[in-house]
Chain A
């Protein structure tokens, strides 16, 4: 039904304004395309929204989730499997969708990876090396229909936008010790030097090295030096303040759309950003094969139709899936028959953590830190190790990273310590500065039973159905996590820790404890309309003027943070749009 108010048409409208919308807008407006971004949340910028000292408020930002989606308006329902009734996530825990200008690009940590070449060919490479049985009948993991080599120039470009610092381990085929020797071939060294190394990181590095592993500094978009980026904007410098994840950056140092792209867009006559504009659906013509624009609610709740020649669905993964479902773009996935595609291959991240305690003699000062400072080993990621006798595929990056030990959340005590009372107090006081944690951030495979669809019961503040997530850990994740626990145990022994805790993956996925906001899939890319939502350019198979960006395109998740790959895919899409789609407004594949 057409809305009462109709706006002036634009060439492209983006739904949301985070990393991917900013990239799309920058690349398209450069080519003279008019771009309007509709952002449901508020306007935010370094000045004045992220200024110190107010931004250094653990309660407001970390506990009360100031920068995140308001669950009272819009949440998701969850069940572990189809036999359960789904119930709403009444307060966010496991993952934290962003909100407002910059989206997750404001509150992220800045860890910026390239996926391994193997990650893009998970299914074919696994079968080739280990035989068809390795995946399991219920595993829907598949190849991406794009290779690392195809994406490499776009990874390079995103690193030059986000001022990423690190140390190359494979420069044009030459392996370099001290970098990640497992990474795919890079055309260039990182734009910025690697971060400094904190004490705990140095101990982890030495222990890993002693075990024969290959430690290297974690690639970071917490800028280590003033860097003039791809859009001519100069970044600030990270001071290791320890307020990064869940906070905005006061230093213009953590790369965000605000810091690295928005100043460029502000100069463009072709760009407009409207905030407090909540898109309800993409509108289709009577054929159902062409989008005509989007309908949104403005800050006063007025329903407005925005005509557009093309629509880019650029919000958070989960909200992108929901937008396609609400707009009836693509066939919804049906797990009973295994047919349909929208919502298929929803995946996540499996973390196996460990904490090492040192009774005496070491002081870590882990309140000093940044989102991405740390040392990593990649020896047990992807297919960098032999899985023949392991019964799972994929792996994890294992890192000792220190995002800043703000004390509401970080005051670990050795196992067996009471949770409260005098003994707890004594242990918390003693170990706050004598412990550090490590994490294995694991990939998650796709399964027939893990998917998203519209909830039949619960609705958002505007009366639209919430999205229902059906998700649980699969056999690959349980085996992987147990394996990573074993690696943690080796490292901890080598470190000489006096106490340690190693997390065990619970039998079932829970929405309660924070784990990761690396939700993936649901709008996956592929080589045909039967098993994917979009082609390799992010263009939906069914409505050729609707494009989707983000980690929803991942057919399954790798053992890395997603943003580097999200950025690379978005540049790839934007270039195809400008160079190919604008000339022939047709399916690109």
Chain B
């Protein structure tokens, strides 16, 4: 029946990229539960409604030109070192630096976010109380530029002329902790505000879609077991306490996958519409 076919096709497209990515990598957090106790039932197959998918694998996205545009070389060194302490590399997977988090932050600062394009930036400026939210006249670019300079300056004074990137891991952690707790302070920008910006953007860069330059090789998604954007779980949401094993899929993967398996013509929303119309016709 047309409606069944359309429905299948619709769910197929949604789950396709996941189904097609029959990689051996799985989410470690799900694949190997640390508990030996109640061993869950066999893993759910990702995209099971569309197991008949084309099997075409998404083209690799490597070899893209990549260059820092906002950070200067010393700033880059600072941020790469800092994100690798906030999210250190270990046996669970890559750290912030390898995951492209510093590059992600650079790219964000070079765009609308960095310029504070959607922040209200009119004066007068007053500190207010914390409940009134950040009141700084600085945009994120300025917060980083001033914050990194001040933090490096602080490190040089504290650690015999060494910049942050040249410190030991323990010294870096002590420095970051000082910024976080406000035991270190700067004149040009509050140290805590600089730390919170760096922290929030680091988390973003580790977990955002890889198209933004971070979460490289989906390191963040693999760490926690997030399957990414090929999301259609109607067939499995009531399969309780079973690991969902899927190599994660990003927006770029799925866009290319959809183009490939959908004859490159029919947009997904058209399929969705068809499915509704046919299902409706079948029902009444």
Contacts and interface: CB of A to CB of B under 8 A. Distances in A.
Interface in A50-84: 50-54, 56-59, 63-65, 70-72, 75, 78-80, 84
B68 interface: no
> What size tier do the contact residues of chain A reach?
35 or more
Interface string A386-423: 00000000000000000011111001000000011110
Interface in A503-531: 506, 508-512
A515 B251 CA distance: 29
B131 interface: yes
Interface stretch (B69-77, B80-88, B185-193): B80-88
B86 A420 contact: yes
B268 interface: yes
Interface residues of B, number: 85
A70 B112 CA distance: 12
Interface in B174-191: 176, 180
Contact of A58 (B129, B208, B242, B275): B208
Contacts of B268: 51-52, 250
Contact of A72 (B120, B232, B242, B269): B120
Given A237-B234, A242-B231, A425-B88, A57 B209 contact: yes
B24 interface: no
Contacts of A53: 229-230, 251, 254-255, 258
B207 A58 contact: yes
B272 interface: yes
B103 interface: no
A421 B86 contact: yes
Nearest to B226: A407
A31 interface: no
Interface stretch (A120-128, A194-202, A286-294, A567-575): A194-202
A361 B37 contact: yes
Interface in B219-267: 220-221, 223-227, 229-234, 236-238, 240-244, 251, 254-255, 258, 267
The dominant DSSP class at the A interface is loop
A56 B231 contact: yes
Contact of B232 (A58, A196, A239, A508): A239
B131 A509 contact: yes
Contact of A363 (B33, B113, B223): B33
Given A91-B133, A196-B237, 10 more contacts: A47-B269, A54-B255, A80-B131, A236-B272, A361-B37, A367-B226, A369-B233, A429-B223, A432-B225, A458-B122
27 contacts: A46-B269, A51-B267, A53-B229, A53-B251, A70-B118, A72-B117, A90-B121, A91-B120, A196-B234, A226-B279, A226-B283, A241-B232, A242-B231, A250-B272, A360-B37, A361-B37, A365-B236, A369-B233, A407-B221, A424-B87, A425-B88, A429-B28, A429-B92, A430-B29, A432-B225, A458-B122, A512-B131
Interface of B: 11, 14, 28-30, 33-35, 37-38, 40, 85-88, 90, 92, 112-113, 116-122, 124, 126, 128-135, 173, 176, 180, 199, 202-204, 207-209, 212, 220-221, 223-227, 229-234, 236-238, 240-244, 251, 254-255, 258, 267-270, 272-273, 275-277, 279-280, 283-284
